[in-house]
Chains A and B, each alone.
Chain A
Amino acid sequence: MRSLWLEKTVRFFFFLCALSAVVISIGIGVTLLGEALRFFARVSIIDFLFGLTWAPHTLPSGEDVGFGAVPLFTGTILITLIAMAVGLPCGLMVAIYLSEYATPRMRNIFKPVLETLAGIPTLVYGFFAITTLAPFLRRVGEVFHLSLSTESALSAGIVMGIMVLPYMSSLCEDALHRLPNSLRECSIGLGATASETIIRVLLPAAFPSIMAAFLLSLSRAIGETMIVVMAAGLAANLTFNPLEAVTTVTVQIVSLLTGDQEFDNAKTLAAFGLGFVLFILTFFLNILALQGVKRHRRIYG
C-alpha cells in the first residue's frame, strides 16, 4: 500500500508543477490585459493601432498625444524580415551541411563554434553592428551613391539574423539528424543523389521541426531589444527603407518603462499596450504554425 500512496503523492506533485505553468501564463496575460485596458481608457485603441506618429507625451491640458504605434510596428516588421531573410536560409543551409554532408571531424569543429555563437550576449552583437557592420555597409553604400545613417534597419537586421542563425541551425540539424537513416538509404537506393534526397525526402519529413525552429527564431528576433537599440536607434521613423534608422516595439517598451516609474501616466501604461500587442501577435503566430504542421500531417502523415 505504501507504493500506492507514494504514487498518488508524486502524481499530485507533478500535476501542481504543470498547473503552476498554466496559472503563471494566465496571470501574465491578465496583468497585461488589465494594464493595457487602463491605457486604452486614456488613449483610444484606434489612435494607438493606426496612428502614424510616435512621440508619446502629455500636453499641459492633460491630453495624451503621439501614441500612434504604426511606426513601431513597421520598424519591428522591417527588422524582423531582414533578420529572417538572413538567419533562416543560412541556418537551414548550415544545418543541412552539418547533418548531411559534413564528416564527423567537421561536425566536431563546427558545432561548438555555433554553440558559442548562441551564447554570446546580444549586447556584443550590437557592438559588432555598430563598430564593424554599419561602417562597412556605409562604405558599400557610398559606392552606389546611397547614404546610410550610422543606425539603420539593415545593419540591425543583418546582425539579428546572425544572432538567430545558431538557433535555427542547431534545431534544424537535430531535426534532420533524428530522421531514420532508412529514409536516406531508400532514396539513395532508388538512384537519387544526396541533394535530391535532401530536397524531396528529408526536408519534407523534417518540416514540422523546421517550422518550430523557424518560429522560435522569429520570436527571438521580435523580442530582441539590445541589438536594435544599438544598431537601429530610437527614432520612430515610419519607413520601409532599410537604410534608415527605425525603432521597434520592444525598444520602445524599454524606453517607456525606464526613468518614469509611476504606473499611472499614459507613457508607462503605453508600454503595457505595446506588450499586449506583442502577446497577441506571438499567440497568433503560434496558431499559424500549428495550422501549418497540421496541414503537413494531413498530406504527409
Chain B
Amino acid sequence: MSFKIDVKNLSLFYGDKQALFKVSLGLPKLQTTALIGPSGCGKSSFLRCLNRMNDSVPNIHIDGKVLLDGKDIYAPSVDVVELRSHVGMVFQKPNPFPRSIYENVAYGPRIHKLFKNKSALDDIVETSLTRAGLWEEIKDRLQQPATRLSGGQQQRLCIARAIAVSPEVILMDEPCSALDPIATAKIEELIDELREKFTIVIVTHNLQQAARVSQKTAFFHSGHIVEAGETGELFTMPKDERTQGYITGRYG
C-alpha cells in the first residue's frame, strides 16, 4: 500500500499542553480518509499539521515526521508556500474572500503564477468551478461578489478555490458543519468525485458522512489514534471498545 502522506509518531504541544501523542497514520493515495472522534480530541490539530498551518501558532512544538511522497514536510529545506500548493485546505466555515467569484478562484493561481495569459486563467477558473459542481449555477455571474452566494455554494466555491492550484491532497475540516442537509449531500457527492484526482482527508462529526464518503477512517480520542482502518470494517467490527462506544453513540 502506497501512502500519499505518512505520519509517524507525531506529537504536538500547545505550550505545556500536549494535544497529540505519538500519532501515526498513513493516508492512502487517491482515497478519502475520515478523521472522527469527540470534540477536542485533536482532529483539527492533526489535520493542520499536514500542511503546516500550525506553524504560526505561538508556543507550538511539533515532534515526529510527516512524509509527503516520502519527504518530510517539516524538514528545514521545505518551502512552506510550495508545500501548501500541494496540500490544500478547506475550512469549517465557508469563507470566500470579499471579492468576485472569479477572483476567488483565480487567487491561488495568481499567487503561484500558474498561468501564462488571461485565457489560461479563465480555463483554470472554469475547470475548477466545474469540478466543484458550481459552474452551471454561476457561470453568468462570475464577476459578482462571492459573498452573495448561498452557504453551500460558498463552500463549493472554497473547494474550487482550493483545487484551482492543482493540489495533490485536500484537507477538509468539518466542511459541512455549517450547511443544510441538501448542500451537505452535494458536497459529499463532490468529495466522492474528487477522489479520482485528489487524496482527501476529512474531519467530520457526522458518522454517517464518514461512512458514506471515506475508504479509511481513523478514530481519535484524547490526542491518540485509538483505531484506524478500512471504513467498512471500523464501523461494523470495531476492535476497541472506545471506538465501539463512540460509533454506537454511547458518548462523544
Chain A interface residues (CB < 8 Å from chain B): 103, 180, 182-183, 185-193, 196, 200-201, 204-205, 297-301
Contact = CB atoms under 8 A, between A and B. Distances in A.
A299 B144 CA distance: 7
Contact of B111 (A182, A183, A190, A300): A190
Interface stretch (B70-78, B81-89, B121-129, B235-243): B81-89
B110 to A, nearest CB: 8
B204 to A, nearest CB: 18
B21 interface: no
Given A190-B84, A196-B111, 12 more contacts: A182-B93, A182-B95, A185-B95, A186-B91, A188-B84, A189-B84, A189-B162, A190-B85, A193-B81, A200-B97, A200-B111, A301-B145
Contacts of A204: 97-99
Interface in B124-169: 144-148, 158, 161-162, 165
Contacts, number: 79
Given A182-B93, A182-B95, A190 B88 contact: yes
A183 B99 contact: no
A191 B82 contact: yes
A205 B97 CA distance: 8
Nearest to A192: B111
Contacts of B97: 183, 186-187, 200-201, 204-205
B85 A191 contact: yes
Interface string B162-196: 10010000000000000000000000000000000
B32 interface: no
B112 interface: yes
B60 interface: no
Residue of A188, A189, A298 with highest tally of chain B CB at under 10 A: A189
B161 A190 contact: yes
A297 B85 CA distance: 30
Nearest to A194: B56
A238 to B, nearest CB: 45
B45 interface: no
B52 to A, nearest CB: 10
Interface residues of B, number: 32
Contacts of B145: 297-301
B98 A190 contact: no
B98 A191 contact: no
A187 B107 contact: yes
Contacts of A185: 53, 91, 95
B51 interface: yes
Contact of A191 (B84, B147, B148): B84
Nearest to A193: B81
A190 B108 contact: yes
Contact of B98 (A103, A189, A196, A301): A301
A149 to B, nearest CB: 48
A190 B165 contact: yes
Given A299-B145, A301-B148, A191 B95 contact: no
The 5 nearest A-B residue pairs measured at CB: A301-B145, A191-B84, A301-B147, A189-B89, A182-B95
A104 to B, nearest CB: 8
A103 B97 CA distance: 25
Contacts of A103: 58
Contact of A186 (B56, B82, B112, B158): B158
Given A189-B89, A299-B100, A183 B53 contact: no
A204 B82 CA distance: 25
A298 B100 CA distance: 10
A191 B165 contact: yes
Contacts of B161: 190
B95 A183 contact: yes
5 contacts: A182-B95, A189-B162, A191-B108, A204-B98, A301-B99
A191 B111 contact: yes
Given A190-B161, A191-B85, A300 B98 contact: yes
